[in-house]
């Protein structure tokens, strides 16, 4: 019995110090495997494992197998903090895939940065992540890029003069700044610009102000609840314009709340082509490993994140986080993954291309 | 351009009539019991949420019928506030009652969160463009809001001036001890005040929810406006609360022409400061009491 316990402890010790075992290179991942995001977490994990399998089948990294140490965060910020502390202090991993949802990700950012541990995001969009620090990267486009996307949309629809309204917080103000710069640079004119409060139930005064200028189009950079309330009350006050919105309001909930007042809204959202050879390889790999299963939400981003990490580990001069970080920036330049160009800029963000959505007959469809 | 200002004025009157309905209960409770009831805002919220509850499954009653049980329960909450919290504390120091009312407000608000969550809810009313009257858009619900406020205040006027109950209510607010000595039924008067405060708050909350939407903070946000209205009218003065409410509603909506709409709440808060500094008894609060 004693021997059994001793052996078990030895085995456990060997497992938990994965990065030490010869023939294996380990990276960490804080993933929501329980809690309210667990429905997504399972898909993220499967996509990451698919990428790891492909890497290992192709000879691994410098002859070693890539291993991802998953740590559950119970879908909470608190759970994410304890999970990343374990991965950094006990497993001593130089690179960690961060948790989904921007607030959970932002909770672990300072810890990774302080410990000089590389942190990657595959599904967090908040603009604040850009400022997290030099060890933080994401393969998912920042919300700020949407400002550019909406400006391009406005131009291509031929609207030269618009009223701009945005939710009055860091995210909304930042997004509006980007839109304004981009739109005015291309010759557009903003007739009036007004912030609207977050979570209010009455936007009639704001709507009246928008209406005063008789605009043909209104750019409304906001969330779902605020967006729906504005659309509804604008409809009631007879304001008939073309609404242009971002991806934060793209949700069936918008239609639930605003009803027919949401008909005809046009917006942008980050997207990628499903016709590229990279995507087809991913799709084929997925169908082989998980037959009959649909590709998960953000699965492509998780897949790209692992693939890019493997390239960085392969070309890094040593296994120190600084060397891996330098290698990561280098290999990302011009790297085309499943979700497009993943070249990191100086703040660790990637570029994106945008698709267009509209609401037609009570459902969200692609705008053509 | 005139249509623009007319619309602002109408929006102000609509908002103001709802503020007045919230303020009147606050003023009455202050007039008689001499404390500020922070949990008054929660009567607004509960009125609205209970209507939502009775109009959705498993009850699925039409909205206009669900108002009845919703208001009855809101009145029950108002009476329970008095019976279980304020009455036992009536003889203790004013700070204790104030803190108790703040605590009660948190408890009732979190009760809403527990039952319905923090998410935004709406009544599934068919969406329609408002009626256009001389360049001003107004929805049916908004017309209903103004008519209800008018009706409620008319009933209140008759109650206070033409009935024995109303007269004793006014007497009690003038001097509670003397009224008790004179044989006025204190239980009945107390009961009337809480019923009136709950009905005004609950109905105002339902109308506000029909016009916009429901969220757990709706009562708390409106309460600040009601405070400003009460201060403006003079604490304890019912008619002051009506005029105060209308004044605040119109002032903050007209301000939209000059400042960014997102900062229009600034007006009600600024009014509170200015009044407290220069006219602490309000414009109509010369003698205090329910008038």
- Please give the ipTM for the structure prediction: 0.78
> Do A197 and B132 make contact, defined as CB atoms within 8 angstroms?
no
Find where tokens 């131009």 sit.
Answer: A155
Residues of B in contact with A201 (CB under 8 A): 120, 208, 212-213, 215, 218
| H or E stretch covering A13 | helix A2-16
Count of domains forming chain B: 1
User: Which residues in chain B have their CB less than 8 angstroms from residue A205's CB?
Assistant: 8, 11, 253, 256, 261, 264
Share of chain A above pLDDT 70, in %: 94
User: Parallel, antiparallel, or unpaired for β A353-360 and A363-366?
Assistant: antiparallel
- How many residues comprise chain A? 368
**What is the spatial distance between Cα A93 and Cα A114, in angstroms, rounded to a whole number?**
14
Q: What's the pLDDT score for residue B268?
A: 76
Integer Cα distance of B218 and B201 in angstroms: 12
Decide if A120 contacts A98 (C-beta within 8 A).
yes
- For B215, which of A201, A209, A235 is closest by C-beta distance? A201
Q: Assess if residue B287 is contained within a domain.
A: no
Q: What is the mean predicted confidence (pLDDT) over A19-36?
A: 82
Question: Within a domain: residue B285?
Answer: no
pLDDT (0 to 100) of residue B126: 83
Q: Which are the contacts of B177, defined by CB distance < 8 A and separation ≥ 6?
A: none
- pLDDT tens figures, B193-220: 999 999 999 999 999 999 888 988 899 9
**What pLDDT sits at residue B250?**
92
Of residues B229 and A10, the one with the higher pLDDT is: B229
Sign of torsion, CA A351 A355 A356 A360? negative
Distance CA A15, CA A38 (A): 25
CA A86 to the chain's CA centroid: 24
How do strand A24-31 and strand A65-72 relate by DSSP bridges? parallel
Residue A364, classed as helix, strand or coil, is strand
**pLDDT of B129 above 80:** yes
Q: What residue numbers bound the domain in which B190 lies?
A: 2-123+131-278
Mean pLDDT calculated for residue range B148-166? 93
Please, what's the b/e burial string for A74-110 (b: 16 or more CB within 10 A of its CB; e: otherwise)?
Answer: bbbbebbbbbbebbbeebebbbbbbbbbbebbbbbbe
From chain B, pick out residues whose CB is under 8 angstroms from the CB of A241.
none
- The yes-or-no verdict on residue A109 having pLDDT over 80 is yes
Structural tokens at position B144: 């209903």
Residue A20 has pLDDT above 50, yes or no: no
| Facing B129 at nearest CB: one of A201, A205, A236 | A236
Instruction: Find tokens 């039924």 and name the residue.
Output: B185
Question: For the domain with range A2-140+275-353, which CATH number is right: 3.40.1010.10, 3.10.105.10, 3.40.50.11540, 3.40.50.2300?
Answer: 3.40.50.2300
Could you state, in order of their start, the residue ranges of all structural domains in chain A?
2-140+275-353, 145-264
Q: How far apart are CA A217 and CA A154, in angstroms?
A: 9
The pLDDT assigned to A175 comes to 85
Query: What one-character-per-residue DSSP string does B61-94 give?
Result: --HHHHHHHHHHHHHHHHHHHIIIIIHHHTTS-H
Tell me the pLDDT tens digit for each residue of A39-56: 889 999 999 999 999 999
The domain defined by A145-264 folds into Rossmann fold (3.40.50)
CA dist., res. A309 & res. A327, Å (int) = 9
List, for residues B254-265, the tens digit of each pLDDT value: 888 888 888 888
pLDDT recorded at residue A202: 84
**Does the pLDDT value for residue B273 go beyond 70?**
yes
pLDDT above 90 covers a percentage of chain A that reads 63
With cut-offs at 50, 70 and 90, classify the pLDDT of residue A17: very low
Let me know if residue B70 belongs to a domain. yes
pLDDT at B286: 47
Q: Rounded mean pLDDT of chain A?
A: 89
Q: Please judge whether A229 and B213 are an interchain contact, meaning their C-beta atoms are less than 8 angstroms apart.
A: yes
Is residue B264 within 8 angstroms of chain A, CB to CB?
yes
Cα nearest neighbour of A167 on chain B: B262
Closest CA to A53 of A303, A301, A314, A338: A303
Tens-place pLDDT, residues A199-231: 788 898 899 889 888 999 999 999 888 999 999
DSSP H or E run through A330: helix A321-332
Whether B291 is covered by a domain: the verdict is: no
Q: SS in 3 state form for A197-233?
A: CCCCCCCHHHHHHHHCCCCCEEEEECCHHHHHHHHHH
A222: left (phi over 0), alpha (psi -120 to 50) or beta: beta
Q: What is the pLDDT of residue B86?
A: 94
Contact at CB, B120 and A232, closer than 8 angstroms:
no
CATH number assigned to the domain comprising residue B258:
1.10.3470.10
Q: How far apart are the CA of A11 and the nearest CA of chain B, in angstroms?
A: 46
């Amino acid at each position: 019995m004693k021997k059994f316990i001793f052996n078990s402890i030895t085995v456990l010790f060997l497992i938990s110090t994965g990065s030490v075992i010869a023939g294996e290179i380990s990276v960490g991942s804080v993933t929501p495997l329980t809690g309210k995001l667990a429905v997504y977490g399972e898909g993220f994990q499967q996509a990451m494992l698919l990428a790891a399998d492909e890497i290992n089948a192709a000879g691994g990294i410098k002859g070693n197998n890539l291993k991802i140490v998953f740590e559950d965060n119970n879908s909470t910020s608190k759970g994410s903090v304890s999970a990343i502390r374990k991965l950094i202090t006990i497993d001593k991993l130089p690179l960690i895939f961060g948790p989904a949802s921007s607030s959970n990700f932002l909770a672990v950012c300072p810890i990774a940065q302080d410990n000089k541990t590389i942190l990657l995001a595959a599904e967090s969009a908040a603009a604040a992540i850009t400022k997290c620090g030099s060890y933080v990267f994401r393969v998912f486009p920042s919300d700020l890029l949407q400002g550019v996307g909406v400006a391009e949309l406005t131009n291509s629809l031929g609207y030269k003069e618009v009223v701009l309204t945005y939710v009055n917080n860091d995210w909304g103000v930042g997004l509006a700044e980007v839109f304004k710069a981009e739109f005015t640079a291309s010759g557009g004119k903003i007739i009036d610009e007004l912030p609207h409060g977050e979570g209010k139930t009455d936007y009639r005064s704001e709507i009246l102000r928008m209406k005063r200028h008789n605009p043909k189009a209104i750019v409304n950079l906001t969330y779902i609840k605020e967006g729906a309330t504005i659309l509804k009350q604008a409809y009631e006050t007879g304001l008939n314009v073309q609404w242009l919105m971002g991806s934060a309001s793209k949700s069936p909930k918008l239609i639930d709340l605003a009803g027919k007042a949401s008909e005809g809204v046009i917006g942008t959202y980050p997207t990628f082509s499903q016709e590229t050879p990279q995507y087809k390889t991913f799709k084929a790999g997925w169908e082989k490993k998980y037959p009959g299963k649909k590709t998960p939400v953000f699965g492509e981003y998780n897949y790209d994140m692992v693939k890019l990490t493997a390239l960085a580990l392969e070309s890094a001069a040593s296994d120190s986080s600084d060397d891996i970080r330098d290698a990561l920036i280098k290999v990302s330049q011009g790297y085309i993954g499943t979700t497009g160009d993943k070249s990191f800029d100086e703040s660790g963000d990637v570029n994106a291309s945008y698709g267009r959505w509209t609401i037609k007959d009570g459902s969200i469809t692609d705008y053509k | 351009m005139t249509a623009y200002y007319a619309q602002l004025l109408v929006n102000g009157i609509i908002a103001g009539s709802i503020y007045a309905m919230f303020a009147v209960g606050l003023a009455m409770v202050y007039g008689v019991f001499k404390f500020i009831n922070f949990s008054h805002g929660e009567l607004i919220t509960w009125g609205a949420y209970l209507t939502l509850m009775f109009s959705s499954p498993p009850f699925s009653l039409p909205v206009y019928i669900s108002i009845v049980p919703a208001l009855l329960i809101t009145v029950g909450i108002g009476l329970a506030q008095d019976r279980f919290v304020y009455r036992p504390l009536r003889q203790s120091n004013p700070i204790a009652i104030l803190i108790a009312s703040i605590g009660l407000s948190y408890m009732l608000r979190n009760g809403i969160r527990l039952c319905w969550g923090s998410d935004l809810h709406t009544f599934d009313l068919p969406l329609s463009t408002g009626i256009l009257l001389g360049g001003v858009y107004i929805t049916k619900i908004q017309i209903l809001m103004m008519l209800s406020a008018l009706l409620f205040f008319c009933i209140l006027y008759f109650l206070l001036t033409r009935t024995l109950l109303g007269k004793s209510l006014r007497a009690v607010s003038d001097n509670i001890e003397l009224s008790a000595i004179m044989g006025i039924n204190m239980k009945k008067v107390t009961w009337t005040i809480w019923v009136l405060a709950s009905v005004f708050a609950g109905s105002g909350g339902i109308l506000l929810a029909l016009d916009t939407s429901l969220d757990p903070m709706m009562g708390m946000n409106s309460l600040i406006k009601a405070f400003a209205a009460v201060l403006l009218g003079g604490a304890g003065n019912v008619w002051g609360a009506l005029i105060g409410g209308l004044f605040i509603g119109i002032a903050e909506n007209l301000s939209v022409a000059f400042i960014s709409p997102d900062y229009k709440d600034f007006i009600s808060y600024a009014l509170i400061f200015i009044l407290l500094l220069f006219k602490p008894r309000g414009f109509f609060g010369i003698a205090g009491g329910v008038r």
